């Protein structure tokens, strides 16, 4: 991908923790949402009426700022932080139905990461291994069976990323999962990988030691294993027993849709 601005994406004109060292309070001192809307107004429907009984344009024009602009958090359209946005959708042989990452929140040196897989079939197993020092520089931590069906409920994998950060591994490792992430994470990660492991997605057949490539520029997530080997592993894969077989969670394990479809309930799967 070239560095030419993409007309389909609005420029990234505000950035704060975990994407940079500045936090919400710095955003407030730099004008907060009003300054953001002022800078972004050429892309807004400013003639829309608001609850103030004035249009958005009138609200922007009449706003009184308490502090002078610092330019640390809010940038203008002419001087954005970047043109790629904070979130990227990846595809590849490990994410046929997509995975989601947040390149705006981690160092650009990690926008191309190739490493060795170390696999875990639950969030807890990964966290124990990280804290025990089993995860090393160059590892791609694979956490699977935590998607909508497998979790069940697509649990949030924030602890593993925090532990990697705390052990000084946030710039030398990566993490991929069919679980999800919140907005507070920092480091090279790909979540929401679909199809999930519990549905027989390719993330289920990764072996320890396999090479994995995360390439933000090309929007790719790939397992560096011959396709014939991937096909053979998928054919030999056996679906594990669901974590719940009764009650609401048992039902959810059975009929939850893929993360790429919103993890909604699909009653036609009954």
Cβ atoms of residues 175 and 8 within 8 Å: no
DSSP track, 11-25:
-B-B--TTSSS--HH
* Closest to 94 (Cα-Cα) out of 188, 234, 262: 234
Cβ atoms of residues 149 and 269 within 8 Å: no
Cα(93)–Cα(215) distance, integer angstroms:
13
Cα(181)–Cα(186) distance, integer angstroms:
10
Choice among 2, 3, 109, 182 that is catalytic: 182
DSSP track, 148-161:
TTTTTS--B-HHHH
Cβ atoms of residues 116 and 105 within 8 Å: no
The dihedral sign for the CA sequence 133, 134, 135, 141: negative
Q: Which residue has the tokens 């979540």?
A: 191
Active site residue 109: no
Q: Annotated active-site positions, please?
A: 182
């Amino acid at each position: 991908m070239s560095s030419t601005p993409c007309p389909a994406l609005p420029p990234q004109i505000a950035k704060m923790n975990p994407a940079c060292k500045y936090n919400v309070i710095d955003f407030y001192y730099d004008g907060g949402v009003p300054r953001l809307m002022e800078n972004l107004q050429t892309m807004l429907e400013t003639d829309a009426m608001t609850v103030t009984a004035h249009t958005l344009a009138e609200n922007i024009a009449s706003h009184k700022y308490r502090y002078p602009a610092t330019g640390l958090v809010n940038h203008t359209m002419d001087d954005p932080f970047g043109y790629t946005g904070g979130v990227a959708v990846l595809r590849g042989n490990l994410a046929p139905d997509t995975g989601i990452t947040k390149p705006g929140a981690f160092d650009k040196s990690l926008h191309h990461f190739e490493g060795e897989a170390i696999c875990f079939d639950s969030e807890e197993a990964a966290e124990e291994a990280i804290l025990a020092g089993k995860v090393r520089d160059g590892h791609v931590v694979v956490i699977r069976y935590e998607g909508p069906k497998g979790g069940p409920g697509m649990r949030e994998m924030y602890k593993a990323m925090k532990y990697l950060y705390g052990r000084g591994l946030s710039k030398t490792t990566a993490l991929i999962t069919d679980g999800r992430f919140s907005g507070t994470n920092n480091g090279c990660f790909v979540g929401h990988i679909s199809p999930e492991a519990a549905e027989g997605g390719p993330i289920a057949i990764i072996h320890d030691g396999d090479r994995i490539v995360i390439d933000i520029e090309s929007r790719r997530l790939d397992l560096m294993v011959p396709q014939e080997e991937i096909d053979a592993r998928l054919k030999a894969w056996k679906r594990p027993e669901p974590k719940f077989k009764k009650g609401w969670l048992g039902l959810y394990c059975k009929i939850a849709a893929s993360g790429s479809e919103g993890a909604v309930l699909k009653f036609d799967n009954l």
